[in-house]
Amino acid sequence: MPLSPSDSARGLPAAGQLLERHEDVAELADRIRDDGVMGLDTEFVSERTYQPQLALLQVSTRDEIYLIDPLAELIQEAPDQPIWDLMADPSVRTIVHSLDHEAQFCLQRTGKTPGDLFDVQLAAAFSGHYYPIAYDKLVGRELRRGVGPSQSRTNWLQRPLTSAQCRYAAEDVRWLIRLHDRFL
- pLDDT tens-digit series, residues 79-131: 788 999 999 999 999 999 999 899 999 999 999 999 999 999 999 999 999 99
Fold assignment, 8-183: Nucleotidyltransferase; domain 5 (3.30.420)
Query: What does pLDDT average to over the chain?
Result: 89
Distance CA 83, CA 93 (A): 12
pTM for the full predicted model: 0.90
